[in-house]
Each structure stands twice: as structure tokens, then as C-alpha cells.
Homo-oligomer: A and B are copies of this chain.
Amino acid sequence: MLVNLRRCASRKAHTLVIMTSGTGIDALDAKLIELLEAEPRIGVLECARRLGVARGTVQARLDKLVSRGVVRDFGPRVDPAALGYPVTAFVTLELRQAVGHQPMAQRLAKIPEVLEAHTVTGAGDMLCRIVARTNAELQDVIDRVLASEGVLRATTVIALAEQIPHRTLPLVKEAAS
């Protein structure tokens, strides 16, 4: 009864291959993403049934979405908290101008607890998302970050609660105009 969508996400060639490179999301695309987001375990066939369109259409749409980059992948979403890292913090780094962002990012990438990093405007130069097992260990992670050459200062903000967990669905619906 269940199907696999992940697979179709990379089908090589299909009669219905669409090359519309243009941007923009269709209402059907949005519904498709929405459906997959809600029930990732259903498959192309199920989607087709639910959306009331032909299977080939769903496959073509999915191919298009993936090839356009709208849908990055269908990888497993890991929850750091369940993994034993319940502490999340946002750390703003001030860097020495001499060191470029690239080398800095490479050094940060070596620290597993650094889940994300952006160069930003404002007083700081980089904003990182960091996790740790405990507050004490968070300090340890930050120390490791500070040990990286080029980091002048680190301002840490601890995330107490996740009010809105990472989501894109509303955006998808909004984009389907």
C-alpha cells in the first residue's frame, strides 16, 4: 500500500520530462510537497491517487522540482536532541580581518557540534548554530571554536526553547501563487 517517493526523486528519464527551468511553483507542486511533508512514506502512486492526477504527472513534477533544486533531497532529518545533544546555541563570531571566511569555515566544519554557519552583516562576522550535550560541554565547544585561528570574540546566545521548528511548508504554499 505504501510507496517510495525518494526513488522517483532521481529518475533518469521519463516520457514526461519537463525542462521548465523557470522559477516559480505551481499549485500542484505545492500540494505535492505538502503531501510529502505530511506523509513522507507514501509513494508516487499514492500521491497520484490523492492529488487526482496521473502517476506520470507526479513523477514528472517531482523530477522537475528536484532538478530545479527546489527539493534538495529526501534525506533523514536527524534530531540532535534525541541524539543526546539537547543544548542549542547561536554563536556570533568576530573575526580578525586578515583571515578569510573560507578558511574559517573550513576550521569550523571540523567541529561536529557546529551544525550551521553563515557570514552575516552587522557587528559580528559569522553566525553559527552549535549544539552540545550539556551547558558545560557547550563551553567546551565554544572554547574549541575560540581556539581556531582568527577568532577574536564569540558572543553566545543559548536557545531555551524551539518556538517554531524549522519549517518551509507555509513558504511553499505562499510561493504557489
Residues A165 and B116 in contact in the complex (CB < 8 Å), given A7-B4, A84-B24: yes
Which chain B residues lie closer than 8 Å to A174 at the CB level? 112-113
Instruction: Return the CB mask of A34-62 against B: 1 if under 8 Å, else 0.
Output: 00110011010000000000000000000
Query: Does chain B have a CB within 8 A of A28?
Result: no
- Secondary structure dominating the interface of A: mixed
* Known pairs A7-B43, A9-B41, A127-B159; A175 contacts B76 (CB<8 A): no
**Nearest residue, chain B, Cβ from A62:** B76
Task: Tally A residues with Cβ within 8 Å of B.
Answer: 80
Within 8 A of B (CB), among A70-87: 70-85
CA distance A79 to B131 in the complex (A): 23
Tell me whether A31 is interfacial, beta carbon within 8 Å.
no
Q: Are A115 and B171 in contact (CB under 8 A)?
A: yes
Q: Residues on A close to B: CB < 8 A? A: 2-7, 9-10, 23-25, 33, 36-37, 40-41, 43, 65, 68-85, 88, 90, 101-102, 104-105, 108-109, 111-122, 124, 126-129, 131, 157-168, 170-175
CB pair A126–B157 under 8 Å, yes or no, is no
Q: Contact at A171–B124, with CB atoms within 8 Å?
A: no
Contact (Cβ within 8 A) B9 A6: no
18 pairs from A and B in contact (CB 8 Å cutoff): A4-B5, A4-B6, A4-B43, A23-B82, A23-B83, A36-B75, A40-B75, A41-B74, A68-B82, A75-B77, A83-B175, A85-B175, A108-B164, A115-B167, A117-B162, A119-B163, A120-B158, A128-B164
